A = this chain, B = another copy of it.
Amino acid sequence: MNEIVYNASLLGVVTGLIALAVAWSLREWISNHPIGVSIPEKTHDRILHNAKLIKDGASTFLNREYKIVAKVSGVILIILCLLGTSGIFLAGGFLVGAFLSALAGASGMSTNVHANYRVTLAAYVGLPYAFKMAFRGGAVTGIMVSSLGLLCVSTTLLIIWRFAPEYIPATLIGLSFGGSLMSIFARIGGGIFTKGADVGADLAGKSIAGLPEDDPRNPAVIADNVGDNVGDCAGMAADLFETYVVTFSATILLTMTLLGENSPWVAAPLLIGIIANISFISIVFFVRLFGKKKGIMSSLYGVIIANIAIAYTGTFFIFDWFTSFSGTSGVFNLYQIMATSGIAFLVTCLLVGITDYYTSHNYKPVKKIASASHGGEHALNILAGHSVGSQSVVPTILVIISAIIVSYMIGGGFSGQENLGLLAIAFTSSAMLSMAGVIVAIDAFGPIVDNAGGIAEMSQVEEKRVRNITDELDAVGNTTKAVTKGYAIGSAGLAALVLFAEYTKSFSDLNISLDNPLVLAGLLLSSVVYLFSGWLIDTVREVAQTIVKEIERQFKNPDVMKGKKEPDYEKTIDIATKASIFGMIKPALLPVVVPILTWFILGPEAVAGLLIGSIILGIPLALYMTISGGAWDNSKKHVEDGNHGGKGSDAHKAVITGDTVGDPFKDTAGPAINPYIKIINLVPLILVTVMAFG
């Protein structure tokens, strides 16, 4: 092992551990706060009571979900172990990857239910304090995701390189696969739970009985808030952890394949991850509302910009040092590295910005949906949202294409250095993923403030001042959840492309030309992603319908209706849990089974078509679904802000329909495509590894 790589791995482990310590201290800070809050005792009790209900519900779900995943993982572990020596390393990596992905999800969720009611309490003190509380909660999850990711990749290199260097690829692929499999279960299970509960609660609560959102009489209201934690937080954290691990593993593997195993450049991706990790933990304590207007969203955007600025400066210094040690001949010089990182950071900002444009009610698209709903026509609302989602795809894709082409050019791909061109694309992907910490932090901010608002409503907080603060935070939370999705999808696509490059480099004579009918068959077969998304939407609808029935049953008791008796919250949580855990298995195994069948029926050339096809079809579909969902959501908010007749108007009914349709689009099916794409690209790599090493 090259000494530089050894040192970089060591530095990765140290940075990861420091970051974990920072996360811990942030969590401690949250535990000891809020301070100086004076709240009427009854309200305080209700807040604690509801927070506990949410916490218990979330824990119950996660326990049951993880048990099922453990069983499935057990079967896969056994199969992997039966595949020979490389299978054992695959299995080892798989175990660690799955465990850490589960840990990232669980810790994110646990921080959320730790922080959510504290934000409600902090709102009694004031907005800046509540904001700080919510941001630090999100930051814990963000740091967990990126530091666990960095830690496991660095540790793998350190350990495996010492004892069995030839099995580094197997271990890294196993690690990625474990992370991905856990993540698809988390995304799907959590996604079905959260939206089944949300749609069920909305339909029964609003449409049938005319209750406002988060009314404590609605039996599904706790399940809805639980869903924010298990879906939007735990699912998302597992997903981005996995993308992080996949991208860095694949970049390291590609570097080893293209430059040789002993190249010092294997350290380069690690350095990119390390510097980004340091830059985020160095600013996290200083984050507060700033600027003249102290806008929440602009403060959060400020955090991204600051993080990028520090990371970019750090990249310059660290690679200035690195290139002087490692030499740049036959690889990249400092300016090429700065260019790929620059592209990555620019792409990060652009993807957030484009998603913001299409989903924020400050711009034309969302306003158009709201105005199409003006006459109360549900169908026009749906058509308008569908059209916004469809039109949002191309700008995002153009950014991704530009990133690919320009990176390839910078690497020298068009000047005869095809391999370095590919490597430059991988470096850009890694630099983009190095921003996962701050992006997850901002994303996880969403479910925390969403819960804080829900708890305030359920606990019947009466102070208008406090409610205004939680409402304002809640509105921003909606946006943060939306804008980070473009980044998650774009980065998933790039990660999968790096995996694909590694797949093709594993063969010496694969005919993956577009005019090979087998490649074509594989490409066409990638339309399976429609089946995947169709299944998920169907399951959410069924869960929602079951919950509606349960709510109607409970509402027959007049005491529940009048608020005299607390509804049976556990029952709805139980229904949603069972249904989502049952419903997640079939779709989660689809991306595992399809490439295996394709491999054995049509061969590795068709598999190549399937892999690229899944990216080509999956990314637009995921973008369409998440962005239309976000736009429908905010067009509802726009009407509720008093436009087109405001709450209770015909327009409001129409935008509620759009919001309900959009819910599983943006929070179940759309984001689940991220791990889907990566699993479908990882499984063939496992087959290749097993066949090469036996």
Contact = CB atoms under 8 A, between A and B. Distances in A.
Interface of A: 199, 203, 207, 372, 375, 377-380, 382-384, 386-391, 393-394, 397-398, 400-401, 404-405, 408, 413, 421-422, 425, 497, 500-501, 504, 512-515, 517-521, 523-528, 530-531, 533-535, 537-538, 540-541, 544-545, 548, 602, 608-609, 612-613, 616-617, 619-620, 624, 656-658, 660-661, 664
Nearest to A532: B390
A530 B390 contact: yes
B534 A391 contact: yes
A609 to B, nearest CB: 7
A534 B400 CA distance: 20
Contact of A541 (B387, B524, B540, B548): B387
B616 A387 contact: no
A620 B657 contact: no
Contacts of A661: 379, 382-383, 386
Contact of A612 (B391, B404, B523, B545): B523
Q: Which 5 A/B pairs are nearest by Cβ-Cβ distance?
A: A390-B534, A379-B660, A391-B534, A527-B620, A393-B530
A386 B500 CA distance: 31
A317 to B, nearest CB: 30
A501 B515 contact: yes
B380 A421 contact: no
Contacts of A527: 393-394, 397, 616, 619-620
Contact of A524 (B512, B534, B616): B616
A199 B372 CA distance: 13
Contacts of A512: 513-515
Contact of A387 (B401, B515, B524, B537): B537
A517 B620 contact: no
B617 A521 contact: no
A545 B401 CA distance: 36
Query: Residue among A384, A541, A624 with the most chain B CB within 10 A?
Result: A541
B203 A404 contact: no
A612 B616 CA distance: 11
10 contacts: A203-B377, A375-B548, A382-B382, A384-B541, A393-B534, A400-B524, A405-B602, A500-B515, A526-B616, A530-B620
A594 to B, nearest CB: 10
Contact of A537 (B383, B515, B664): B383
B372 A545 contact: yes
Nearest to A527: B620
Contacts of A384: 538, 541
Given A398-B525, A530-B620, 13 more contacts: A203-B380, A383-B537, A383-B540, A387-B541, A391-B530, A393-B527, A397-B527, A404-B521, A404-B524, A421-B517, A524-B616, A527-B619, A617-B617
Contacts of A382: 382, 657, 661
A199 to B, nearest CB: 7
Contacts of A612: 514, 520, 523
Given A387-B534, A393-B531, A530-B620, A199 B517 contact: no
A391 B657 contact: no
B383 A664 contact: yes
Contacts of A519: 514
A544 B372 CA distance: 11
A545 B393 CA distance: 25
| Copies of this subunit | 2
Contacts of A398: 525
A513 B507 CA distance: 13
B497 A520 contact: yes
A372 B539 CA distance: 12
Contacts of A548: 375
A541 B391 contact: no
A624 B527 CA distance: 11
A658 B541 CA distance: 15
Contacts of A656: 379
A384 B382 CA distance: 14
A265 to B, nearest CB: 20
A533 B620 contact: no
A473 B515 CA distance: 45
A377 B207 contact: yes
Contacts of A425: 517
A639 to B, nearest CB: 16
A620 B389 CA distance: 17
Nearest to A208: B375
Contacts of A405: 517-518, 521, 602
Nearest to A612: B514
Contacts of A400: 524
A251 to B, nearest CB: 16
B613 A616 contact: yes
Contacts of A602: 405
Contacts of A521: 401, 404-405
Nearest to A529: B620
Nearest to A518: B405
B380 A535 contact: no
Nearest to A388: B534
A694 B528 CA distance: 43
Nearest to A391: B534
Nearest to A653: B378
A190 B519 CA distance: 36
A431 B450 CA distance: 59
A517 B404 CA distance: 7
Contacts of A530: 390-391, 393-394, 620, 624
Contacts of A380: 203, 541, 544-545, 660
A540 B384 CA distance: 10
B391 A535 contact: yes
Contact of A609 (B413, B514, B664): B514
A200 to B, nearest CB: 10
A258 to B, nearest CB: 12
Contacts of A387: 534-535, 537-538, 541
A655 to B, nearest CB: 11
Nearest to A424: B517
Contacts of A524: 397, 400-401, 404, 616, 619
Contacts of A541: 372, 380, 383-384, 387
A512 B523 CA distance: 14
